[in-house]
């Protein structure tokens, strides 16, 4: 299982310095959506330059222009770009095609999708590489978490890898690990920890 660190609200320099501290426990560095909106693809380029041995994910949450937008991420050095499951299937096909053309991967973020088995089947039919179970930040505020959706997704996915995100921390990691997702995404639990290194280490060890 890979550990993906989501960087959302830090500015570029703070995020680079922060990541330096915890990098040994991180497999995938996520340039989060607010980060992309703030800095554009500069965030992806600089992280790939400072951490050439890490994979970088650009959390674009593409909703249209799938090929064009995904190609921006891959041109900038990302190994993964996200597209929303809520987008038109044509858009997701475009992002998947861009990923295949660049030898990279498209991640379909299933945020707000209610009929998961139906959409998982549609996504696998178009060759989506990774499907991400995702309870958004706004939904977490009212107490939702992604564990049940992860159970459903693992039950119906046949070919795609599965990632999971939504308020996961060292306190809750074991129940997610038990369901064997390929990628666990952690943001604020590490980013806002009193001791980020200890938190990243504890989560990484739970994944091994």
Whichever of 40 and 155 has its CB closer to a second copy, that residue is: 40
Check binding of 125 to a second copy (CB under 8 A). no
Strands (E), the chain: 2-7, 28-31, 55-62, 80-84, 105-109, 130-134, 161-165, 183-186
Cβ distance 164 to 150 under 8 Å? Answer: yes
Check binding of 38 to a second copy (CB under 8 A). yes
Choosing from 3, 84, 108, 120, the residue that interacts with a second copy (CB under 8 A) is: 84
**What is the smallest separation between the CB atom of 143 and a second copy, expressed in angstroms?**
12
| Binding to a second copy, residues 49-68 (CB under 8 A) | 60-61, 63-66, 68
Check binding of 111 to a second copy (CB under 8 A). yes
Maximum CA extent, the chain = 44
Check binding of 116 to a second copy (CB under 8 A). no
**What is the smallest separation between the CB atom of 189 and a second copy, expressed in angstroms?**
16
Choosing from 4, 19, 79, 91, the residue that interacts with a second copy (CB under 8 A) is: 91
Check binding of 167 to a second copy (CB under 8 A). no
Check binding of 9 to a second copy (CB under 8 A). yes
Check binding of 115 to a second copy (CB under 8 A). no
* Partners of 176 in the β-ladder: none
Q: Of 201, 194, 74, nearest to 82 (Cα)?
A: 74
| Interatomic CA distance for residues 33 and 126, integer angstroms | 24
| Interatomic CA distance for residues 148 and 130, integer angstroms | 18
């Amino acid at each position: 299982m890979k550990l993906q660190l989501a960087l959302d609200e830090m500015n570029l320099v703070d995020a680079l310095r922060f990541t330096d501290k915890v990098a040994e426990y991180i497999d995938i560095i996520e340039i989060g959506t607010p980060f992309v909106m703030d800095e554009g693809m500069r965030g992806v380029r600089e992280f790939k330059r400072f951490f050439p041995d890490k994979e970088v994910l650009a959390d674009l949450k593409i909703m249209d222009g799938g090929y064009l937008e995904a190609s921006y991420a891959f041109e900038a050095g990302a190994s993964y770009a996200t597209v929303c499951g809520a987008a038109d299937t044509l858009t997701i096909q475009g992002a998947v095609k861009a990923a295949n053309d660049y030898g990279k991967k498209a991640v379909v973020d299933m945020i707000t999708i209610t009929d998961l088995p139906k959409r998982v089947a549609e996504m696998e039919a178009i060759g989506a590489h990774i499907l991400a179970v995702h309870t958004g930040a706004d939904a977490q505020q009212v107490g939702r978490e992604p564990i049940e959706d992860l159970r459903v997704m693992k039950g119906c996915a046949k070919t795609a890898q599965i990632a999971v995100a939504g308020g996961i921390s060292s306190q809750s990691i074991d129940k997610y690990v038990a369901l064997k997702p390929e990628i666990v995404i952690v943001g604020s639990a590490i980013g806002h920890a009193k001791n980020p290194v200890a938190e990243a280490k504890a989560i990484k060890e739970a994944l091994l």
